[in-house]
Amino acid sequence: MEATFAVLPGDGIGAEVTRQARDVVEAIADTYGHSFTFTEHDVGGEAMRRGLGPLPEETLEACRAADAIFLGAVGHPDFDDPTATERPEQALLGLRSALGLFANLRPVRVLPELVDSGPLKADLVTGTDILFVRELTGGIYFGDSGTSEDGDSAYSVMGYTRGEVERIVRLAADAATNRRGRLTSVDKANVLEVSRLWRRVAGEVVADYPGLEYEVLLIDAMTMHLLSRPRDFDVVVTANLFGDIVTDEASMLAGSMGLLPSASLGADGPGLYEPVHGSAPDIAGQDLANPLAAILSAAMALRHSLDLEQEAAAVETAVDEVLAAGMRTVDIAEGATHVGTVEMGAAVVEAVSSS
């Protein structure tokens, strides 16, 4: 098959980890006889440094024309000024809305080899395997907002329409049907009117899936349940802001953010694939970053944008193999000897090539 990838390395460790993801996907092309083309584009702080703004038009056009987008990370302390009108993060929000990427999939799987590498007890997290489905183009992130003239009051509106809730809950219910058949919807319906709409519509959608085990939880309770009984969750669907918060919490179950991939999908058009971790400027350029989240994001691209399930599974198996063989980047090394970004990526390439 022929496919084009738009690669947006971005800030901090973004370039290092996307380089490894790209190498792995090139190895897949060689092994399985595909022809993949990659083009690189500026985004985030890197683009701002060149005077192009966080999301240059050329980058957006290249993304529209691609089959899938690999994003490294955006964000840098140089651009942290809270009064600034332009920020690297606007690139992400701009891409999500311009490409209609309403569904953010964030799988959190606790690998048996790594149960001890996180801050939580191994017997609590063992066997955890959750797919978070976060609504990504609505809610408070994209609602009306403003600041009064004197700067002493501000507001951000959280709104949802029936259609927005329906499509994300349906996607989550379909995913649950193909997994362990459990769906949890998370909201704040005891307080927020918008969450009452969410809960009502979600219930209507789920009525079409009589085989699903369905649960609703309030976001505050969810943050506790996630730590007390993480294994009980299969697919969790929630609104934009709640999903942002709860997936950071969930990343700690897996031991390191360096392992967590994500996919952002629209109704059609290219999907965007990025590691859940950020730009980590403190370790950038030192060959310390864990490339596995970016590599696993590339596997999601093969699956969701190119429909190459076998190839996606081959990448995931290769990652499992290198971890089983004891290879560790510093974030998951627990004091033991560790390898660098490049060596870890090369090991996955090697495992893919011999698959």
Residues in the site for ligand IPM, rule: CB under 6 A? 89, 92-93, 244
Shortest distance (Å) from residue 49 CB to ligand IPM = 18
Q: How many CB atoms lie within 10 A of CB 349?
A: 22
Q: Does 30 qualify as catalytic in the annotation?
A: no
Helix 292-304 vs helix 14-32: crossing angle, to nearest 10 = 50
**Smaller CB separation from Mg ion, 238 or 339:** 238
* Euclidean distance between CA atoms 340 and 152, whole angstroms: 48
Shortest distance (Å) from residue 32 CB to ligand IPM = 30
Q: Does 220 qualify as catalytic in the annotation?
A: yes
Binds 174: which of Mg ion, ligand IPM, none (CB < 5-8 Å by kind):
none
> Which is the catalytic residue, given 23, 42, 141, 273?
141
> Which is the catalytic residue, given 220, 232, 282, 307?
220
**Smaller CB separation from ligand IPM, 277 or 328:** 277
Binds 350: which of Mg ion, ligand IPM, none (CB < 5-8 Å by kind):
none
CA distances from 319 to 53, 77, 256, 292, 312 (A): 36, 31, 15, 7, 11
Binds 215: which of ligand IPM, Mg ion, none (CB < 5-8 Å by kind):
none
**Smaller CB separation from Mg ion, 215 or 244:** 244
Burial 274-306 (b: 16+ CB within 10 A, else e): bbbbbbbbebbeeebbbbbbbbbbbbbbbbbbb
Q: Does 331 qualify as catalytic in the annotation?
A: no
Q: Which residues contact 288 (CB under 8 A, 6 or more apart)?
A: 329, 330, 340, 341
List the structure tokens of 256: 């390191």
Q: Does 67 qualify as catalytic in the annotation?
A: no
**Smaller CB separation from ligand IPM, 168 or 339:** 168
Q: Which residues contact 76 (CB under 8 A, 6 or more apart)?
A: 11, 12, 44, 45, 88, 279, 281
> Which is the catalytic residue, given 188, 234, 273, 331?
188
89 binds Mg ion (CB under 5 A): no
List the structure tokens of 75: 């964000």
Shortest distance (Å) from residue 248 CB to Mg ion = 6
Q: Does 244 qualify as catalytic in the annotation?
A: yes
Residue reference for tokens 């996607």:
171
Question: What mask of x and - would describe binding to Mg ion in positions 220 to 259, judged by CB under 5 A?
Answer: ------------------------x---------------
- In the bound state, the residue with its beta carbon closest to ligand IPM is 89
Cβ–Cβ < 8 Å for 253, 153: no
**Smaller CB separation from ligand IPM, 300 or 322:** 300
Q: Give contact residues for Mg ion (rule: CB under 5 A).
A: 244
> Catalytic residue positions?
141, 188, 220, 244, 248
